[in-house]
């Protein structure tokens, strides 16, 4: 049975039902009759009342495009133009019906949003057999023949979901556990449901499946099951990223402040902190991140008067006292990005829950040049000759705003034993990954850093979906900040750091939500885009007329 046959049968059935009763008469504001009747499906005592209860709830999607200046304000769509005032809807729809030739089954108000054979860019929001279709059919029938009009419920009107909105990548556990006790059992992680067979009967196709990686680990390392466990893990992960990761000093506060000497200056600029942040492509910290200026006791000034950018952190001793020593947090150098308002002002996260945006400014080449032993001796700097961890682990970085994390991973794979993480160089790995020339994968040189909040909605990690999101060890691949922790014969420091923190850091990454967009959004335009994105009939375009429909 084709669509036209189904349409004919449906219309005949509706016509028979309509012919079974007749209502009374009355005067209408548009010159057509108000019909007495009524139904438990809402007030249907008149066409206006029927319209309000059965038709108007379906017009939200129409209003997005069929308005002045909207995408349907065209020769084809201008027959129906609504305003943002719903009280005008009835008169405007009635006027459109008249302008479009009146009638019922041949009127564009009915067939454009229903009949697949009609080229309607807004898709088919009222398919034949739906409540919306039945309601419009009834309304047009009453307008077309007021003396033979029966009004009644057209079925349950379902409230349409909003065209705009976002979970901001909030994981279901974050939402579920809000307001629940620690003992509440966690629901299924949606990411774990993306397995072979999930595509059957669906229009969406997944080709990167989740794999269980934790089942064989000790019980304390297996996946968590309660809201309390989730809260504990993400809190520990956040603390480790912001404090534990910077466990080794890379310079003193004085050495940090004297960085201006490497810039060729005789004295620090007045806006030294801002210039440091700008030169190396770091970003302002939206949280307390102090360091002491020369002559300052950080324990008398709440850490100091200076402010470090994301990616650096002043350390504390075992007694919790500030040390005046500064460590590197490599995670935030690549993942400490920022949004920018349209007026040019930086929109920086006010707390750590919004961290994780890829940093498109970071300049590892400049970091290496200013700290290169060769450059410090007046010799030409060549990218990669610095002994700094930033350059070592971003081998092959060629430009500002990019890194080569995969190249760094492959370097570690070549240098370390997979199980113990002890130093065990294997030249065969180098030949496989770099064909003897370097350690870079051919497709992994200049990479944009992905946002952490993608982690909560994906079944696999990295741009090539190379690892299941349940594989947590690699989230701390760049954990140690220097060779003393990264490259050791036994691998004990590196291994214990990962084993003790990877699950916690993974839970924190999963809990991160994206920040709200800081600029203004043209809501009306965005809603039109949403309609087209979800329902646009690509076969309505002349160029696709001969293409096979799925």
Residue 339 has pLDDT above 90, yes or no: no
User: Please, which pLDDT band fits residue 478 given cuts at 50, 70 and 90?
Assistant: confident
* Mean pLDDT value across residues 223-228: 93
Structural contact between residues 371 and 363, judged by C-beta atoms closer than 8 angstroms: no
- Neighbouring C-beta atoms of residue 19, cutoff 10 Å: 10
Give the lowest-confidence range in 309-313, 468-472, 544-548: 544-548
Angle, vertex CA 145, rays to CA 143 and CA 146, nearest 5: 70
Angle, vertex CA 458, rays to CA 246 and CA 420, nearest 5: 45
* Mean pLDDT value across residues 536-541: 74
C-alpha span between 204 and 199 (Å, rounded)? 7
Nearest-Å Rg of the Cα atoms of the chain is: 32
User: Please, which pLDDT band fits residue 350 given cuts at 50, 70 and 90?
Assistant: very low
C-alpha span between 227 and 186 (Å, rounded)? 6
C-alpha span between 337 and 6 (Å, rounded)? 55
- The segment with the largest mean pLDDT, out of 130-139, 438-447, 514-523, 534-543, is 130-139
Structural contact between residues 469 and 461, judged by C-beta atoms closer than 8 angstroms: yes
Structural contact between residues 491 and 420, judged by C-beta atoms closer than 8 angstroms: yes
pLDDT digits (tens, 9 = 90+) for 177-222: 999 999 999 999 999 999 999 999 887 789 999 999 988 888 777 8
Give the lowest-confidence range in 4-8, 209-213, 443-447: 4-8
Q: What is the pTM of this model?
A: 0.73
Structural contact between residues 277 and 284, judged by C-beta atoms closer than 8 angstroms: yes
C-alpha span between 217 and 362 (Å, rounded)? 37
- The segment with the largest mean pLDDT, out of 4-18, 224-238, 398-412, 533-547, is 224-238
Structural contact between residues 398 and 447, judged by C-beta atoms closer than 8 angstroms: no
Q: Could you give the count of Cα atoms lying within 13 Å of 392 in the half-sphere of its Cβ?
A: 16
Q: Could you give the count of Cα atoms lying within 13 Å of 169 in the half-sphere of its Cβ?
A: 22
Structure tokens at 137: 């059919």
According to the model, what pLDDT value does residue 7 have? 34
HEC per residue, 351-412 = CHHHCCCCCCCCCHHHHHHHHCHHHHCCCCCCCCCCCCHHHHCCCCCCCCCCECHHHHHHHH
User: What residues contact residue 511 under an 8 Å CB cut-off, 6+ apart?
Assistant: 171, 173, 174, 230, 234, 353, 456
pLDDT digits (tens, 9 = 90+) for 43-82: 567 999 999 999 999 898 899 899 999 989 988 889 999 9
HEC per residue, 140-169 = HHHHHCHHHCCCCCCCCCCCCCCCCCCCCC
* Mean pLDDT value across residues 453-481: 86
Structural contact between residues 403 and 390, judged by C-beta atoms closer than 8 angstroms: no
Structure tokens at 348: 């920086």
C-alpha span between 426 and 432 (Å, rounded)? 10
Secondary structure letter of residue 107 according to DSSP? -
- Helix or strand holding residue 10 (H, E): helix 3-19
According to the model, what pLDDT value does residue 91 have? 96
C-alpha span between 33 and 143 (Å, rounded)? 8
């Amino acid at each position: 049975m084709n669509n036209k046959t189904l349409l004919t049968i449906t219309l005949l059935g509706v016509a028979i039902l309509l012919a079974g009763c007749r209502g009374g008469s009355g005067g209408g504001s548009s010159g057509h009759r108000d019909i007495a009747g009524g139904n438990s499906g809402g007030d249907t005592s008149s066409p206006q009342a029927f319209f309000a209860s059965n038709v108007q709830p379906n017009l939200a999607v129409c209003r997005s495009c069929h308005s002045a200046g909207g995408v349907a304000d065209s020769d084809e769509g201008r027959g129906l133009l609504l305003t943002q005032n719903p009280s005008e809807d009835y008169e405007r729809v009635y006027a459109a019906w008249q302008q479009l030739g009146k009638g019922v089954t041949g009127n564009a108000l009915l067939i454009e949003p229903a009949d697949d054979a009609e080229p309607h860019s807004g898709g088919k929001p009222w398919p034949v057999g739906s409540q919306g279709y039945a309601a419009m059919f009834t309304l047009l029938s009453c307008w077309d023949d007021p003396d033979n009009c029966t009004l009644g419920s057209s079925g349950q009107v379902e409230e349409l979901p909003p065209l705009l909105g976002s979970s901001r990548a909030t994981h279901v556990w974050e939402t579920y556990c809000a307001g629940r006790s620690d003992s509440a059992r966690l629901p299924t992680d949606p990411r774990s449901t993306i397995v072979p067979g999930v595509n059957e009967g669906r229009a969406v196709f997944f080709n990167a499946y989740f794999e269980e990686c934790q089942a064989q680990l000790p019980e304390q390392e297996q996946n968590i099951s309660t809201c309390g466990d989730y809260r504990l893990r993400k809190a520990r992960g956040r603390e480790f990223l912001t404090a534990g990761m910077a466990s080794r000093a890379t310079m003193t506060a004085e050495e940090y402040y004297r960085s201006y000497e490497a810039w060729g200056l005789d004295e620090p600029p007045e806006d030294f902190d801002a210039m440091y942040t700008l030169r190396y492509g770091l970003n302002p910290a939206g949280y307390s991140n102090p360091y002491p200026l020369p002559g300052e006791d950080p324990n008398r000034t709440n850490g100091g008067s200076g402010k470090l950018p994301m990616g650096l952190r002043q350390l504390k001793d075992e007694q919790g006292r500030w040390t005046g020593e500064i460590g590197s947090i490599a995670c935030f150098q690549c993942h400490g990005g920022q949004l920018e308002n349209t007026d040019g002002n930086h929109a920086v996260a006010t707390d750590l829950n919004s961290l994780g945006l890829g940093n498109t400014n970071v300049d590892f080449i400049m970091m290496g040049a200013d700290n290169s032993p060769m450059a410090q001796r007046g010799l030409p700097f060549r990218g990669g000759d610095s002994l700094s961890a930033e350059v070592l682990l971003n081998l092959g970085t060629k430009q500002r705003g990019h890194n080569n994390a995969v190249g760094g991973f492959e370097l570690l794979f070549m240098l370390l034993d997979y199980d113990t993480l002890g130093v065990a160089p294997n030249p065969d790995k180098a030949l496989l990954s770099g064909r003897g020339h370097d350690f870079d994968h051919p497709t992994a040189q200049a990479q944009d850093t992905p946002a952490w909040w993608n982690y909560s909605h994906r079944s696999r990690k990295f741009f090539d979906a190379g690892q299941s999101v349940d594989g947590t060890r690699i989230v701390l691949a760049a954990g140690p900040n220097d060779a003393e922790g990264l490259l050791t014969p036994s691998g004990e420091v590196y291994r214990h750091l990962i084993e003790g923190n990877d699950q916690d850091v993974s839970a924190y990454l999963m809990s991160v939500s994206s920040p709200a967009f800081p600029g203004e959004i043209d809501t009306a335009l965005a809603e039109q885009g949403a309609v087209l994105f979800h329902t646009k009939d690509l076969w309505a375009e002349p160029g696709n007329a001969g293409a096979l429909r799925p």
